[in-house]
Amino acid sequence: MSTTVTAAVVPGTGEPLTIQQLQLDDPRPDEVRVRMVATGVCHTDAIVRDGIYPTPLPAVLGHEGAGIVESVGSAVTTVAPGDHVVLSAAYCGHCRKCRAGLVAYCENLMAQDFGGTRGDGSTSLSNDEGPVSSHFFGQSSFATYANVVETSVIKVSPEVPLVTLAPLGCGLQTGAGAVLNELRPEAGSSLVVFGVGAVGSAAIMAGRVAGCTTIIGVDLHDSRLELAEEIGATHTVNSGTTDVVAEIAKITGGEGVNYAVDTTAVPVVLRQAASTLAIRGTLALVGAAKPGTDVNFEIGASLVKGWTFKTIVQGSAVPQVFIPRLVELWQQGRFPFDKLLQTYTLDDINTAFADSESGKVIKPVVVF
């Protein structure tokens, strides 16, 4: 028996989201019916809307949901009705990478998170014209209710506000996890973050948690750089008005940085980031670019630096383990990501997208 839900739908490539009444089918045995309280708006939602990643449209996107469990399928064991949950990326749970604990690198990631259907090809959502893609990142949280796969669900304390926790599911987990799970900088080391939106801001906060003593934020927006200093950056550089490589050399006494995180996926920025590295430095890319995008690195003079370039997905996190840790850090005041948030109603979701893209707001959160 289907349920009527209100959702923000992407009708076609590059089109504004429209608010529609849709039919939501019954949860399958491995699914959890969640009443959404809030959901973050992420850059990944925008690139799918614009056709850069191949989710079939029309679709209900949204992959940073938070809400309350209404019911559970017969095979679900990790949550029960009434539980408060944060939603994150889906993973299959049975491939070699998942079995090794590397769920962010699930061999079936594209189908699980971007396929727009369940494994059997069905969608949980429909309108009078037919099926609407669902299960975006296992959830499709731009709706009042969703049937969410169990691997996307993380139980959290009911004492913590769900509106605040929603953005942990993707962007903040990605930035913080890149530093804490993957780079693991030594106390007293140096870190530069290119692009201090939500992902970059999380990386800066994580650098402070890890004990980095030089943390540099690079961005085009002075307002974002000011906030970066408030949440942990020791230095900031406006790349629109300053020679970034020269300034970072000055900050580090000519040594360069031990770790660099790029959230932009802009080739010229990545080349610039590589130029800021110290001997044995590491450059990590967490930003999403259009498939086929290339970047050129200098490999002659830089050979003797012995530097590393790596890509990182979802902060190399197991969400059920890592997100509760981020909640604890926030409760202790050591991961103040609430300073990044601005709330919107579902009717204003296109404004939330626009404010994020313009740099006016770091992390929009839609509150139902």
Tell me the per-residue pLDDT of 287-319, one tens digit each, with 9 for 90 and over: 988 889 999 999 999 999 999 999 999 999 999
Question: Which residues contact residue 358 at a Cβ distance below 8 angstroms, ignoring those fewer than 6 apart?
Answer: none
Domain boundaries, the chain: 3-169+336-367, 175-313
Pick 54 or 160 by higher pLDDT: 160
pLDDT at residue number 21: 97
pLDDT at residue number 214: 98
2 pLDDT tier (thresholds 50, 70, 90): confident
1 pLDDT tier (thresholds 50, 70, 90): low
**Mean residue pLDDT across the chain:** 96
Share of the chain above pLDDT 70, in %: 100
Share of the chain above pLDDT 90, in %: 96
pLDDT at residue number 289: 87
Beta bridge partners, 366, equal: 39, 344
State the architecture of 175-313 in CATH terms.
3-Layer(aba) Sandwich (3.40)
Mean pLDDT of 338-346: 97
pLDDT at residue number 280: 98
**CA–CA gap between residue 49 and residue 65 (Å, rounded):** 18
326 pLDDT tier (thresholds 50, 70, 90): very high
Name the CATH topology of 3-169+336-367: Quinone Oxidoreductase; Chain A, domain 1 (3.90.180)
Question: Which residues contact residue 332 at a Cβ distance below 8 angstroms, ignoring those fewer than 6 apart?
Answer: none
- Residue 141 scores a pLDDT above 90: yes
Question: Which residues contact residue 100 at a Cβ distance below 8 angstroms, ignoring those fewer than 6 apart?
Answer: none
Identify residue 162 by its one-letter amino acid code: L
Mean pLDDT of 223-249: 97
Tell me the per-residue pLDDT of 78-117, one tens digit each, with 9 for 90 and over: 999 999 999 999 999 999 999 999 999 999 999 999 999 9
Mean pLDDT of 125-142: 97
pLDDT at residue number 76: 97
pLDDT at residue number 127: 95
Tell me the per-residue pLDDT of 25-57, one tens digit each, with 9 for 90 and over: 999 999 999 999 999 999 999 999 999 988 999
